[in-house]
A and B are shown apart, each in its own frame.
Chain A
Amino acid sequence: MTAPSFWTTRRRDQLTAYVFITPALFGAVAFVFLPLVLVVWYSLHEWNVLADSFNFVGAENYQKLADDPNFPAVLRATAFFSIGLVVLNLGLALLLAVLLNQKLRGTTFFRVLFFSPVVVSLLAWTIVWGFLLQDNGGINGLLDAVGIDGPNWLRSGGTAMASVVIVQVFKNVGLNMVLFLAALQGVPQDLYEAARTDGASPWTIFRRITLPLISPTILLTSIITVVGSLQVFAQISVLTQGGPGTSTTVLVYYLYQQAFQFHAFGYGATLSVVLFLIVLALTVLQWQMRKRWVFHEH
């Protein structure tokens, strides 16, 4: 009797699997896991690129974060942007999807209309809106024509953040709208017929049938939108540069300022660790919550 060969079928299958995933694994390690580890490592250092200094300082950057007088304002701005964006974007996307799911003439035209900003370059979109929102720009020109003296949208504390949120809502609402449309069309028609036969009102039908059945899509879109909202950068950089004051300085923009403008790469890394933890916590939270509010999962 010979000794069993090392290359059992199972081992051979495993090797094949590893060989197949190696290219993807290499990419994930090089561009996701390694940077993640390095950022944590950098956050423990005082790193000034110009002076070529890279000194281990332990938790000093985290202490600096706790004492940073700007940080609460930055967190507030980030929360305001994210909550504003998620509520407006999901609300509007759902409303549009329900409206455009009707069997009416012209719905295709409006679907294309609302989806088209999604395929426009983000920078081009933002720059054009920057012109429109100038004090002597197109929006105030329109308001002027109907006798309203519009505010200086991007330069006053009250309207700057709201303007950035709205520019971003219109940019991406089409994507969520299409996802919602797909979900709405997946709801079986016989459920609606049965409900109507039982005399349910349109609102009851929406609340009791439509919403529960599209809840997986609501979960998906809310995760994508929340995570995306925390990464907002180009819009802030083009429209407001974090101003006026610090009213639109969101976390990613603040991180950029610290690392790339003030040369404090270590502190910038600390801020990105915080950003990572926030995104992680929110995603885990939403995933946990799905058990409570996602009623229908394939």
Chain B
Amino acid sequence: MRKTVAVAATVALFGALTACGGGEAESGGPVTLRMTTWSANPDHVKLFDAIAAEYKTTHPDVTVKFDALPFENYTTTVTTQIAGGNAPDIAWILEGAAPDFVASGALTPLDDSIEDAADLAPTATALWKQDGKLMGYPFSTSPFGVFVNTDLLKKAGQTLPTGDQWTWDNASKVAAATAAKTGKQGLVVRDFDYKDWTNLATVFRGWGAEAWTADGKTCGFDQPPMVDAMTFLHKAIFTDKALPAPGVAADFFAGESAMTIAQISRASLLKEDGFGWTLVPLPAGPSGSYAVIGQGGIGVLKKGKNAAAAQEFVKFFTSPANSAKLAQFFPPPRQSQLNADTLAKANPLLKPEQLQDVVIDGIENGVVKPSHAGSAEINQAVRSGLDPLWKPGADVTGVLKGVCTAINPLLAK
């Protein structure tokens, strides 16, 4: 009898578990779509909710819920939800995770869900295509620029170099001098924090360096451009003190540093009655001027319970009209909207020349931050390989060689 009970209990439990895991059949009744995002910014949420409410007027059966997840563990949380049989219907996807999501077959193609797809900038969609099909829509194609606290510079008696003088050497000098005179920090590479090294692409691209070749097969860390870029960065951190040292927290938007490299969507963090600021493109490096883009995409998950309804909503969410609304936070991939006029309406904080120099030129000429299939594992290996670099007197060439030794087997996978 003991055995029978045990077997029955196990069978019942297995049955319950498999029932949880399986997708439910689609019905004609009301559906609730869940879209995961990494933004809990009240202004963003208000706009999303407004778009969803407008959609409900024509699709009374469809309710869309926006589920803001913490940015630091965003991809991990989404994949865990997928593993647990609780996949979101629609998910934002970070550029770093794009190759994994696009190539894995986890997403449904969006070609039929995008109005006027010919309008999308090819540089913006490159990362999101698989065999010619659009698997994700890059709703945010946001170039990196340098925000400058002009009040702090003035206090330190520094002037911001312009034109040809806006180079990494001069940027570092001004940052170091301002830090020394004000007791604040100089230049902060936002979200780098000596962990997310992909943000350093905003620096090392100025030397023409790349983490790996375009085909993703050859490591670029031990190449001369990267060695030069990292030597510069190491000196700027530990000798010139132009950048905060490891473990030093400084938030530009709280007035704690002279400059920060960040995406333009961060302008929303600036307060109207706060310090004086300006936004300029990334400084020129030895290999000339350059631009770097961070992207966010939207994908419809195959494992979601209402894939067809989700595709319909994505069509609405990404339509030219809604894309223009979203443009105030997220630079759109639509070429017809990439002009100073449209963007100025949506970004009252930014001046037309800032939009032209940083946003429009940036999207046209920019390269997307490094990404690769299996990016989480590669990023972890690079991060731990770069750790010995972040102390005074480090052997830059040796450390970078070590990074390549660590990631070569992963790049070859």
Interface size on A, residues (CB 8 A): 32
**Given known contacts A30-B13, A34-B10, A262-B376, A49 and B247 CB-to-CB distance under 8 angstroms:** no
Query: Could you say which of A18, A51, A137, A154 contacts B104, with CB atoms under 8 Å apart?
Result: A51
Q: Give the contacting residue for A51; candidates B75, B106, B247; CB below 8 A.
A: B106
B384 within 8 A of A: yes
Secondary structure at the A interface, as helix, strand, loop or mixed, is: loop
Closest chain-A Cβ to B279's Cβ sits at a distance in Å of 28
Chain A contacts of B83 at CB under 8 A?
Answer: 49, 265
**Contact: A243 with B76, CB < 8 Å?**
no
Closest partner residue, chain A, to B100 (CB atom): A50
Residue of chain B at shortest CB distance from A152: B247
Interface pair B9/A29, CB less than 8 Å apart: yes
Shortest beta-carbon distance, B101 to chain A, in Å?
6
Measured between C-beta atoms, what is the minimum distance from B370 to chain A in Å?
17
Name A135's contact: one of B10, B246, B376, B384 (CB within 8 Å): B246
Q: How far is the CA of A243 from the CA of B383 in the complex (A)?
A: 9
A276 within 8 A of B: no
Name B379-401 residues within 8 Å CB distance of A.
380, 383-385, 387-388, 390-391
Question: Distance (Å) between the CB of B194 and the closest chain A CB?
Answer: 7
Give A262 to B376 CA distance when docked, in angstroms: 6
Interface status of B245 (Cβ within 8 A of chain A): yes
Indicate whether A243 sits within 8 Å of B104 (C-beta atoms), given known contacts A29-B10, A30-B13. Answer: no
B5 at the interface (CB under 8 A from A): yes
- A198: Cβ under 8 A from any B Cβ: no
Chain B contacts with A in 90-122, Cβ cutoff 8 A: 100-101, 104-106
| Distance A49 CA – B105 CA, assembled complex (angstroms) | 11
Q: Which of A155, A246, A263 has the most C-beta atoms of chain B within 10 angstroms of its own C-beta?
A: A263
- When distances are taken between beta carbons in the complex, the residues of chain B under 8 Å from A49 are 79-80, 82-83
Residue of B nearest to A260 (CB): B76
CB-contact partner of A136 in B248, B384, B388, under 8 A:
B248
Q: Does B374 contact A (CB under 8 A)?
A: yes
B81's closest neighbor in chain A, by CB?
A: A49
Determine whether A52 belongs to the interface, using a CB cutoff of 8 Å to chain B.
Answer: yes
Contact of B249 among A29, A134, A155, A241 (CB under 8 A): A134
- Chain A residues within an 8 Å CB radius of B245: 135, 152
Residue A283 CB within 8 A of the other chain: no
CA A263 to CA B5, docked complex, whole Å: 36
Q: Does A245 contact B388, Cβ atoms closer than 8 Å?
A: yes
Q: Which residue of B lies closest to A47 (CB)?
A: B83
A162 CB, nearest partner CB in chain B, Å: 16
Instruction: A265 to B5: give the CA distance in the assembly, Å.
Output: 31
**A222 proximal to B (CB < 8 A):** no
For the complex formed, measure the closest distance between the CB of A6 and the CB atoms of chain B, giving whole angstroms. 11
Q: Given B9, B101, B246, which contacts A152 in the complex, CB threshold below 8 Å?
A: B246
Within 8 A of B (CB), among A228-270: 241-246, 257, 260-263, 265
CA distance A135 to B390 in the complex (A): 12
Q: Is A156 an interface residue (CB 8 A)?
A: yes
A213 to B390, CA, bound (A): 51
- Asked if A48 CB lies within 8 Å of chain B CBs, one says yes
| Residues in B whose Cβ lies below 8 Å from that of A257 | 376, 380
B248 touches A135 (CB 8 A): yes
Q: Check B100 against A263 for contact (C-beta < 8 Å).
A: yes
> Can you name the residue of chain A whose Cβ is closest to the Cβ of B101?
A50
Is A26 part of the contact surface with B, judged by Cβ < 8 Å? yes
Which residues of B sit under 8 angstroms from A241, Cβ to Cβ? Answer: 195
Interface size class of B (residues with CB under 8 A): 35 or more
Whether B384 contacts A18 by the Cβ 8 Å rule is: no
Q: Of A18, A50, A244, which one neighbours B388 at CB under 8 angstroms?
A: A244
| Inter-chain contacts of B195 with A (CB < 8 A) | 241, 243
Is B341 among interface residues, defined by CB-CB distance under 8 A?
no
Whether A244 and B247, one on each chain, are in contact in the complex, defined by CB atoms closer than 8 angstroms, is: no
Q: Which of B2, B75, B100, B387 contacts A244 (CB 8 A)?
A: B387
B129 at the interface (CB under 8 A from A): no
Interface residue B184 (Cβ < 8 Å from any Cβ of A): no
Q: Identify A261's interface contact among B2, B5, B101, B376, CB under 8 A.
A: B376
Quick check: A52 and B303 within 8 Å, CB to CB? Answer: yes
Given A50-B79, A245-B384, residue A263 in contact with residue B391 (CB < 8 A): no
Given that A51-B104, A135-B248, A243-B384 are contacting pairs, would A260 and B79 also be in contact in the complex, using a CB cutoff of 8 Å? yes
- Asked if B61 is an interface residue, CB under 8 A from chain A, the answer is no
Q: Does B377 reach chain A (CB closer than 8 Å)?
A: yes
What residues of chain B lie closer than 8 Å to A245, measured between beta carbons? 384-385, 387-388
> Which residues does chain A contribute within 8 Å of B80, judged by CB atoms?
49, 260
Which residues, 149 to 169 on B, are CB-close (under 8 Å) to A?
A: none
Q: Mark B238-254, 1 if CB is under 8 A from A, else 0.
A: 00000001111100000
A18 partner residues in chain B, CB cutoff 8 A: 2, 5
Residues of B contacting A25 in the complex (Cβ-Cβ under 8 angstroms): 9
Task: Assess the A51–B248 pair: CB atoms within 8 A.
Answer: no
Residue interface mask A139-179, B partner, CB < 8 A = 1: 00000000000001011110000000000000000000000
A52 touches B390 (CB 8 A): no
B82 touches A136 (CB 8 A): no
CB-CB nearest in chain A for B377: A262
Chain A residues whose C-beta falls within 8 Å of the C-beta of B384 in the assembled complex? 242-246
CB-CB < 8 A to B380: which residues of A?
242, 257, 261-262
CB distance from A123 to the nearest CB of B (A): 13
Contact of A155 among B9, B76, B79, B247 (CB under 8 A): B247
Closest to B378 in A: A262
Q: Mark B1-22, 1 if CB is under 8 A from A, else 0.
A: 0100110011001000000000
Q: Which of A29, A50, A134, A262 contacts B82 (CB 8 A)?
A: A50
Complex A-B, nearest 4 residue pairs according to Cβ-Cβ distance, in ascending order: A244-B387, A135-B247, A50-B104, A51-B104
Residues of B at the A interface (CB closer than 8 Å) are 2, 5-6, 9-10, 13, 75-76, 79-80, 82-83, 100-101, 104-106, 194-195, 245-249, 302-303, 374, 376-377, 380, 383-385, 387-388, 390-391
Given contacts A134-B248, A242-B380, 17 further A-B contacts (CB under 8 A): A26-B9, A30-B13, A34-B13, A49-B82, A50-B79, A50-B82, A51-B106, A134-B247, A134-B249, A152-B245, A241-B195, A243-B195, A243-B387, A244-B388, A257-B380, A261-B76, A263-B79
8 A-B contacts (beta carbon < 8 Å): A18-B2, A51-B104, A52-B104, A152-B245, A155-B391, A241-B195, A245-B384, A261-B376
